[in-house]
Structure 1
Amino acid sequence: MIRVALDAMGGDLGPRIAFGGAIEILSRHQDVAITLYYSPCSGLVLPEPHERLSLVVCSDVIDANEEIVLSLFRRRQSTLYRALQSLVDGSADVVVTLGNTGAMVALARHLLGVLRPKLYPALIRELYSNPLRCLVDLGANVHCPPSMLVGFAELGAAYIEALSDEAPKVGLLNVGVESSKGSVVIRETNRLLSDRTWPSYLGYAEGTELFEGEKNVIVCDGMVGNAVLKASEGLLSFLMGKFKGLGGASSLFETFYQTERRHGACLVGVRGNLVKGHGCSDLPAMIGAIEYGVDIARADLCSAIAARIFD
């Protein structure tokens, strides 16, 4: 049985999205059980009872705009804290949340611990799934020295190996492929990756290589990765809107959106499986995020990455 801990309070549209997503997932998967961590609010309608659905009432919610301060680690009755604690207790296989990214990363490091000292957790997003191609980091880390970027390359490569039959081929996102281009940090990262036997490093990647080419792990700092991701998704949504009603073109974009993207990102580098979905997720996106969580729990992604990192 795959046990999902779902933080129901993180999304912009409220817990009803999490409730609806949980019920849909349970109807699709007979080997999945879900625990919903929620806080009562006015007008909230609870889902119908289900033998594989548990409801846990929490007295606290960490809002999306809250800063990461010391008191965060004392808020043990928040929905996010209790969902993550279920990983520590061994009562869940994966946590899914639409909530505060910074709080999730901070609490995950605090409660779960990291796979290896000085290997910083990172958010990985699948740009598409067949063949598998990933972007890392997406915002878990903003100020990244070369050693941290090398760690992202390791985590991304281990992710590819765990979830596909492909060999990881790493590229470092830069403003050009010439050796003279890029910041001091980027050029030093390039030197460090070039000296390694694993993962296989193919050099600098320009923005055009995000969606095509032989590199299947694109590494960057979290500021750049988050901007790239949001711009790409914004463009896709814009084009879908422009082509709406034009038949074939609209269907093409909708097919890509629904079948070639997982909803959410995976936090790797901590001792547990975590999925972070968009705060603005609607019901289909919530379902997609939970599906993603079920997939990585089936693969026992955290253990697979740990085994490769320590190989």
Structure 2
Amino acid sequence: MIRVALDAMGGDLGPRIAFEGALHVLSQHDDVEIALYHSPSSNFELPPLCDRLSLVLCRDVIEVDEEIVLSLFRRDGSTLFKALHSLSVKEADVVVTLGNTGAMVALARHILGVIRPKLYPALIRELHSNPLRCLVDLGANVHCPPSMLEGFAELGAAYVEALSDELPKVGLLNVGVESSKGSSVIRETNARLSLKKWPDYLGYAEGTELFHGEKNVIVCDGMVGNAVLKASEGLLSFLLGQLKEQGGDGSLFETFYQTKHQHGACLVGVNGNLVKGHGRSDLQAMIGAIEYGIDIARVDLATAVRKRLDNEE
């Protein structure tokens, strides 16, 4: 049985989306249990014949715009804290949240711990799943020295190996492929990755290689990754809207948008499986985020990544 701890309080559309998403997922998966962490204002009532959904009432909620301060680590009654704690004590197999990204990363490191000292956890997003292609990092880390970017390459490669039969081929996102291009941080990271036996490093990647080409792990700092992802999703949404306004057939774009952009990102590098969905997630995206969490829980991604990195030490 896969046990999902679902933080219901982070999404822009409110906890009802999490509740309805949980019910839908349970109707599709007989081997899944969901514990839904919510606040007293939610006023949920369990529907009939829903014995695999439990509600956990929490006294505190970490808002999406809260800053990361020391008091955050003492708020053990918040929905996010309690969901992560359930993962740390093996009462859950995966946590899914739509909430505050900074708080999620900070509390995950605090409660779950990292898989290796000085290896910073990173948010990984699948740009597409068949063949698997990933972007790392998406915003968990904004200021990234070369050692951190090197670690992202390892985490992304381990992710690809854990979730597919493909060989990871790493590219470092840059403004050009020439050796003279890029900041000093990018050039030093390039030198570091070029010396490694694993993962297979293919050099710089330009923006045109994000969605096609032989490189299937694209590495960048969190500021760049977050901007790239949101710009890509914004462009897709814009084009879909323009096609509809002009009476064109937007079915291809709409299908791509629903199937490729419906789930969130995975925080890799902590001792536990953790999915971060977009705060603006609608019901379909909420369902996708939960199902993504189930997928990584089935392979126990966190353990698979840790074992793979241990082999390289």
Which TM-score tier does this pair reach, normalised by the shorter chain? Answer: over 0.9
CA contact (8 A) 1:7 1:95 kept: yes
Match of 1:292 in 2: 292
Alignment of 1:90-169 (within 5 A): 90-169=90-169
Alignment partners' CA distance in 2, 1:33 and 1:196 = 41
Matches of 2:190 and 2:112, distance apart in 1? 31
- 2:273 alignment partner in structure 1: 273
- Could you tell me which residue of structure 1 aligns to residue 45 of structure 2? 46
Q: CA deviation at 1:240?
A: 1.0
Residue-by-residue CA offset, 1:28-82 (whole Å, 9 max, x unaligned)? 000000000000217x443414110000000000000000000000000000000
- SS, match of residue 41 in structure 1: helix
- Amino acid aligned to 2:259: T
Aligned to 1:9: 9
The residue correspondences of 1:1-311 to structure 2 (distance < 5 A) are 1-41=1-41, 44-49=43-48, 50-244=50-244, 249-311=249-311
Q: CA deviation at 1:257?
A: 1.4
Q: CA deviation at 1:249?
A: 3.6
CA distance, structure 1, for counterparts of residue 19 and residue 244 of structure 2: 30
| 1-structure distance, mates of 2:107, 2:297 | 20
TM-aligned CA deviation for residue 258 of structure 1: 2.0
Which amino acid in structure 2 is aligned with residue 304 of structure 1? A
1:246 to partner: Cα distance: 6.8
1:298 and 1:248 map into 2 onto residues whose CA distance is 41
8 Å contact 1:35–1:53 — kept in the other structure?
yes
Separation in structure 1 between the aligned mates of residue 82 and residue 306 of structure 2, nearest angstrom: 24
Structure 1 residues 247, 150: closer, same or farther in 2, change over 3 A? same
> Contact 2:262/2:284 (CA < 8 Å) preserved in 1?
no
Q: Check the 8 A contact 1:202/1:215 in 2, yes or no.
A: yes
The answer to whether the 8 A contact 1:129-1:261 is kept is no
Distance 1:109 1:159, change over 3 A: same
Aligned-pair CA distance for 1:260: 2.8
**1:225 is aligned with what amino acid?**
G
* Unpaired runs of at least 5, structure 1: none
Quick one: which amino acid aligns to residue 293 of structure 1?
Answer: G
CA contact (8 A) 1:132 1:216 kept: yes
Tell me how far 1:299 sits from its aligned partner.
1.1
CA distance, structure 2, for counterparts of residue 246 and residue 48 of structure 1: 43
AA matched with 1:189: T
**Deviations along 1:120-143, whole A, 9 cap, x unmatched?**
000000000010000000000000
Counterpart-to-counterpart distance in 1, 2:259 and 2:265: 16
Alpha-carbon RMSD = 1.2
Give me the TM-score of the superposition, normalised by structure 2.
Answer: 0.97
Percent of pairs with identical residues: 78
Contact kept, 8 Å, 1:123 with 1:136, in 2: the verdict is yes
Contact 1:19 1:46 survives alignment (8 Å): no
What stretches of structure 1 move > 4 A for 4+ residues in a row? Answer: 245-248
Q: What per-residue deviation string (whole Å, max 9, x for no partner) do you get for residues 267-308 of structure 1?
A: 000000000000011110100000100000011101110110
Residue type at the aligned position of 2:64: A
User: Does the CA-based 8 Å contact 1:10-1:97 persist in structure 2?
Assistant: yes
Long gaps (5+) in structure 2: none
User: How far apart are residue 255 of structure 1 and its match?
Assistant: 1.3
Deviation at 1:112, TM superposition (A): 0.4
| Count of residues in correspondence between the two structures | 310
- TM-score when normalising by structure 1: 0.98
| Higher alpha-carbon deviation: 245-254 or 116-125 | 245-254
CA contact (8 A) 1:94 1:274 kept: yes
| 188 and 73 in structure 1: CA distance in 2 versus 1, 3 angstrom threshold | same
